A and B are shown apart, each in its own frame.
Chain A
């Protein structure tokens, strides 16, 4: 089994700096709370006042660590759980308040590829039934021919021979290709990629990433890539949103974010990621992040913030929650001192 031939995408032309094209997905002030496990405890805020515009044709990345809320946000986007506040609009249609029938219609445009390639496929169904399922669900009553399934499989680098196979007979990479074929079956406009390569080997990841890039070019897709892997985000996305404890703390075109972050958490995250070029940079964070949704006054990051320490612990960090504000051009960041983020930090020993 080989993937599609390596395509060299035209580097500059495809990489739009900033966002162009109309908005096809709007996340408007979405919040999602979960009731607390403790008796009488405050509800846990997994997602807190997130607003994002997704433009047609772009690849938007959402990065963050565990507890940042990106997984919950994805589930809200997919309509698996309703947000406790806010709206999600797909092409102008309100997904959150849609009727069941409307929601199913909207789902055609918004498909997803999940993290666990083998787990996201019903172990008892053959590839044929798995790829046909979205077609049967939304175009109920019509027969799905093998030929059209084979066309889908060939697009993702599989073949007719794979129709009969069961998930446990396929490798992780092949399973993920099946999942991608499933996602493309309805010709959606937006594909949400939830950690699509995190559980794959590096060489398999390369195949899948190349495939995703090629499919995007071919079909004019829009991607929402949710992941913790900073190298993958940098490779594939046009813009990046960084999440921490349920809120977006920075949003910028990718190269600008990596080159000059404007939020101390972004800086810490970028520095911590071990890169093959230089290993891991400075360790800027101390201790562990508080549990998801733990209530803090002021900025959610301030207890661990290296910049705050460096600036002598200004009171405003603990007192006032910073809002996501413009920091130049199309960039936004939620910090009281965004311009000081590129100062030379003193390394923290943990």
Chain B
């Protein structure tokens, strides 16, 4: 999995408050979708027309119905309403992706900031560790972790977080290295502020804009990655509602009951697209030309 590194000049987050104005219609549409997804994730099964089917209860006598009244997106091989399954699956998708990205940021950003600010030996040690982590094939790592801990969504999430943090370390280090030359950092040093306070009080807060842009796009990528892991059996297990798992479960019947894998796949597509559009919009908003 490759993550495009987005390097933008850090910009005060105060400007961010205006970042979602409809100057960017695609970004605005993406934002609406994301808000909708988050709502669904919070509401969970309650929002689904058939909550029990959504969470996995079989309904065999209605199996493999095509889309129609009563089941807007049809039912799957066990008669479960596809729409409900997708809605319930939103919680997994959003939850896992936010958790993975959140964990990657929590680990990667401080490490990178320390490396970029302190330079010298600490920098070398951290960056070599990062290089090692990056060189490790993530799929292999995921398989190893699942083999060790057993299958399941949470373990897949851990595997993903472990493969993801190095990107944030790199990004954060580059930003920290450029920020450390800025006058306000020198001014803080001249006042006598300790290194740790400078890193967490000045460097990291001012590094947020490229990290936010990267994180937004990454959420989409993680959804995709989690889906892929589930597809090959390394993530969520039946009867959990998970978009990737649903695509996997439906792949054998794609020609006849096309709706079973297609709609979950579409859900993945729309979610990833929304996050990408918002990320692009944020990147444009944070562009240096918006700086005074």
B175 → chain A, closest Cβ, in Å? 14
Contact B186 A114 (CB under 8 A): yes
Minimal Cβ-Cβ distance residue in A for B187: A120
Residue B292, interface by CB 8 Å: yes
Q: How far is the CA of A133 from the CA of B191 in the complex (A)?
A: 8
Q: Which residues of B contact A133 (CB under 8 A)?
A: 188, 191, 193
A-B contact count (CB 8 A): 64
Specify the main secondary structure of chain A where it touches its partner.
Answer: loop
Contact A111 B205 (CB under 8 A): no
* Interface flags, A158-182, vs B, CB<8A=1, else 0: 0000000010100000000001001
A124-B12, A124-B206 given; A107·B184 CB < 8 A? no
Residue B182, interface by CB 8 Å: yes
The residues in B between 1 and 42 inclusive whose CB is less than 8 angstroms from any CB of A are 11-14
* Interface flags, B162-206, vs A, CB<8A=1, else 0: 000000000000000000001110111111111001000010011
Minimal Cβ-Cβ distance residue in A for B291: A168
A128 → chain B, closest Cβ, in Å? 14
Contact A138 B183 (CB under 8 A): no
Contact A116 B12 (CB under 8 A): no
A164 → chain B, closest Cβ, in Å? 12
Q: How far is the CA of A78 from the CA of B187 in the complex (A)?
A: 10
Q: How far is the CA of A137 from the CA of B202 in the complex (A)?
A: 14
Q: How far is the CA of A108 from the CA of B197 in the complex (A)?
A: 18
Minimal Cβ-Cβ distance residue in B for A74: B190
Which of B190, B193, B206 contacts A123 (CB under 8 A)? B206
Size of B's binding interface in residues, CB under 8 A: 21
Q: How far is the CA of A21 from the CA of B250 in the complex (A)?
A: 89
Q: Which residues of A contact B182 (CB under 8 A)?
A: 119
B54 → chain A, closest Cβ, in Å? 43
Q: Which residues of A contact B184 (CB under 8 A)?
A: 119-123
Specify the main secondary structure of chain B where it touches its partner.
Answer: helix
Minimal Cβ-Cβ distance residue in A for B203: A122
Which of B183, B193, B194, B205 contacts A120 (CB under 8 A)? B183
Q: Which residues of B contact A122 (CB under 8 A)?
A: 184, 188, 202, 205-206
Which of B13, B187, B292 contacts A124 (CB under 8 A)? B13
Q: How far is the CA of A108 from the CA of B182 in the complex (A)?
A: 22
Residue A150, interface by CB 8 Å: no
A122-B202, A123-B184, A123-B206 given; A78·B12 CB < 8 A? no
Q: Which residues of B contact A107 (CB under 8 A)?
A: 190-192
Q: Which residues of B contact A114 (CB under 8 A)?
A: 183, 186-187
Q: Which residues of B contact A115 (CB under 8 A)?
A: 183
Q: How far is the CA of A45 from the CA of B250 in the complex (A)?
A: 72
The residues in A between 110 and 157 inclusive whose CB is less than 8 angstroms from any CB of B are 111-112, 114-116, 118-124, 133-134, 137-138
A251 → chain B, closest Cβ, in Å? 25
Contact A80 B186 (CB under 8 A): yes
Which of A80, A108, A124, A179 contacts B189 (CB under 8 A)? A80
B105 → chain A, closest Cβ, in Å? 18
B39 → chain A, closest Cβ, in Å? 30
Which of A78, A118, A121 contacts B190 (CB under 8 A)? A78
* Interface flags, B192-227, vs A, CB<8A=1, else 0: 111001000010011000000000000000000000
Contact B12 A123 (CB under 8 A): yes
Contact A137 B197 (CB under 8 A): yes
Q: Which residues of A contact B188 (CB under 8 A)?
A: 122, 133
A180 → chain B, closest Cβ, in Å? 12
A114-B186, A120-B183, A122-B202 given; A137·B12 CB < 8 A? no
Contact B14 A168 (CB under 8 A): yes
B13 → chain A, closest Cβ, in Å? 6
* Interface flags, A326-343, vs B, CB<8A=1, else 0: 000000000000000000
Q: How far is the CA of A137 from the CA of B197 in the complex (A)?
A: 9
Residue A93, interface by CB 8 Å: no
Q: Which residues of B contact A216 (CB under 8 A)?
A: none
- Residue pairs across A and B with Cβ atoms less than 8 A apart, 25 shown, are A79-B190, A80-B186, A104-B192, A107-B190, A108-B192, A114-B186, A118-B292, A119-B184, A121-B187, A122-B206, A123-B12, A124-B12, A124-B14, A124-B205, A133-B188, A133-B191, A137-B193, A137-B194, A137-B197, A166-B14, A168-B12, A168-B292, A179-B187, A182-B187, A182-B191
Top 3 nearest A-B pairs (CB, nearest first) are A119-B183, A123-B12, A107-B192
Chain A residues with CB under 8 Å of chain B are 78-80, 103-104, 107-108, 111-112, 114-116, 118-124, 133-134, 137-138, 166, 168, 179, 182
